[in-house]
Amino acid sequence: MRRKLAAGNWKMNGLSGQLTELEALAEAHPKPAVDVLICPPVTLLATAARQCPFDIGAQDCHANASGAHTGDVSAEMLRDVGAKAVIVGHSERRESYDEHSDIVRAKARAAQQAGLMAIVCMGESLAQREAQNTLDIIGGQLAGSVPDNATAENLVIAYEPIWAIGTGLVPSLAQIGEVHGFIRARLERRFGAGVGRGVRILYGGSVKPDNAAEIFQVPDVDGALVGGASLKAADFSPIINALEGA
């Protein structure tokens, strides 16, 4: 009942020439059986949204709709140039910009109010996992970062263990399953069975063509948020195939 989602997060990568990768991806997937979302840098957003048949998303937004915030971009502005979604609370932003869950929640709320789907990221550090605090951390981030008005359409959760991002390390399938099951139960408890069962939960962190299929077999994994392997059509395409086959 949940439509699967393959989301690519280009991070701070990509000049205009990189848009040819989206053309190649569109050629390889003229009618994908899953949702495909590409989140390029904000500089490419408008062009990508015009040219690319897939949904386009941003990687961050400000919590306010407008105002004196030099250098920032609001959710409304993203929507205005064709974005359908925005990633909020990525660990790289939580760490580099000290973005705590209350800020992430305000950004997610702003995104939803602007008509965007908020992809709210959360994940534990290696030290937190080793101290067996993973579920406490995830429970706290979930409670703190997700606004109250969630629907299956305006919210996606991305579980991204910090130690798995860009490292080639991946949790065991049992570990992924444990966290996704936990998130699902918390969503159902907070939002009721209908919304709780409808919200998609993505796994992120070193998803590659060679490990995607097994990760997509894990219950409550509704797709992936893919960094490095989303930059090249040749890498992202087999991940989309794996999700279609799951």
Q: Radius of gyration (Cα) for the chain, nearest Å? A: 17
Q: How far is the CB of 169 from ligand PGA (least distance, A)?
A: 9
204 binds ligand PGA (CB under 6 A): yes
Pick between residue 60 and residue 160 the one whose CB is nearest to ligand PGA. Answer: 160
Three-class DSSP category at 6:
strand
59 binds ligand PGA (CB under 6 A): no
166 binds ligand PGA (CB under 6 A): yes
227 binds ligand PGA (CB under 6 A): yes
Q: Return the residue of 37, 111, 114, 207 that touches ligand PGA, per CB under 6 A.
A: 207
Stretch that binds ligand PGA, among 23-31, 64-72, 123-131, 220-228 (CB under 6 A): 220-228
Q: Provide φ and ψ at 58, rounded to 5°.
A: -105, 175
Question: Among 163, 24, 41, which residue's Cα sits nearest to residue 91?
Answer: 163
Stretch that binds ligand PGA, among 48-56, 130-138, 223-231, 234-242 (CB under 6 A): 223-231
Q: Provide φ and ψ at 24, rounded to 5°.
A: -65, -40
Q: How far is the CB of 4 from ligand PGA (least distance, A)?
A: 17
Packing angle between helix 173-198 and helix 134-145, nearest 10 degrees?
30
Stretch that binds ligand PGA, among 64-72, 130-138, 143-151, 224-232 (CB under 6 A): 224-232
| Residue 47 token pair | 């062009």
Contact in structure between 158 and 121 (CB atoms under 8 Å): yes
